[in-house]
Amino acid sequence: MMRMLLLSSGFAFALTSMSVAMGSVPTAGRVTDDTAIYQKLSEINVPRQRGINFDSEIAQLSKAEARFNEELPTLSKDARLRGPMGRINGQKYRRSK
C-alpha cells in the first residue's frame, strides 16, 4: 500500500514538473512578447528628437558626480595598521614565477 502511494505521488510530481517545464517554452510558430528583441534593427524607425551634444551632457554628469562621492574609512589612519601597511607599501613588486 505504501509503495503504491509513493509510486503514484512520484508519477504525479513528474507529470506536474514536465508540464510546467514544457509550458514555459513557446512552440516554433508562436509569437511571444520578446519577439521584438530578435527583429532586424533596420526595421525600427525613430524620429530625431534633438541634436546630439556630448559635451554638455558630460559636463552635467561631471557636476552631478561630486554629490555621490562616498566617505570611505581609511585604514592608514589606524595606529595598529600604520606600521604593517608601511612595510607592505615599501616592498618592491616582484613578479611571481
Return the pLDDT at 82. Answer: 83
Distance CA 88, CA 82 (A): 10
- Residue predicted with more confidence, 16 or 75: 16
CA-to-CA dists, residue 93 to 4, 63, 75, angstroms: 70, 37, 21
pLDDT(37) > 70: no
CA-to-CA dists, residue 44 to 63, 64, 69, angstroms: 34, 33, 39
Distance CA 69, CA 60 (A): 16
Mean pLDDT value across the chain: 79
85 Cβ contact list (under 8 Å, min separation 6)? 75, 76
pLDDT(27) > 70: no
pLDDT tens, 42-85? 666 778 887 888 898 888 888 888 787 777 677 767 888 888 88
Nearest partner of 9 among 17, 21, 22, 20, judged by Cα: 17
DSSP conformation letters of 82-93? HHHHHHHHHSPP
